Chain A
């Protein structure tokens, strides 16, 4: 079946530091890839997405590029802020197994300190 593997956290960074959260996937079909963010006390919300190879998703200064050759979708931000403290989930949707699948990684908790 499909799976998503994220780097384990928690990750603690100082404000204005560079952020990378690694994400790799396995899929039977040709998936679309997503990053969701969960702020404290809230549900998940979409941060960005990419639907085909070499697409770059971007939002709020975050970026991720769909790399089919390395089956990866790493999340990056050049300068993090305290308000970016949250849990980040990499996810995919796929139809390769004959039915639609929605699969999440385990999440990476980011804490940004002033």
Chain B
């Protein structure tokens, strides 16, 4: 059974803290994505990575950074958490082969609350 695993289902952090969200996939996929999901706004792309050590900004990268040191792991970093980063964060992976026609696989999400 293919899997995308996010390290935490729920997190509560304080304003100003550095926060790490981890995502691991076991499908040997080249492409990995971080989205945030907010009511009324749907899924918004933060960053994606198409290879180890490669990254591209998505639609809302401000306040975030990412790291991809190994193919299976893609980390999202909130350098200094703020209350407006309270959200559901979703990680996804997708094969480069047949990118157009194959599905993206999602983790279960991390609900982050910044207080």
Contacts and interface: CB of A to CB of B under 8 A. Distances in A.
Interface centre among A91, A93, A94, A102 (most CB of B within 10 A): A102
Interface stretch (B13-21, B61-69, B79-87, B102-110): B102-110
A45 to B, nearest CB: 7
A51 B103 contact: no
A43 interface: yes
A106 B4 contact: no
A69 interface: no
Contacts, number: 55
A66 interface: no
Contact of A89 (B41, B43, B107): B43
A100 B48 CA distance: 11
A31 B100 CA distance: 7
Given A102-B33, A102-B94, A46 B103 contact: yes
A95 B109 CA distance: 27
A43 B100 contact: no
A95 B96 CA distance: 12
A44 B92 CA distance: 9
A100 B100 contact: yes
B61 to A, nearest CB: 16
Given A104-B42, A105-B42, A107-B43, A43 B108 contact: yes
A42 B108 contact: yes
A43 B43 contact: no
Contact of A34 (B40, B43, B103, B109): B103
Interface string A66-94: 00000000000000000000000101011
Contacts of B48: 102
Interface of A: 31-32, 34, 36, 41-46, 49, 51, 89, 91, 93-95, 100, 102, 104-107
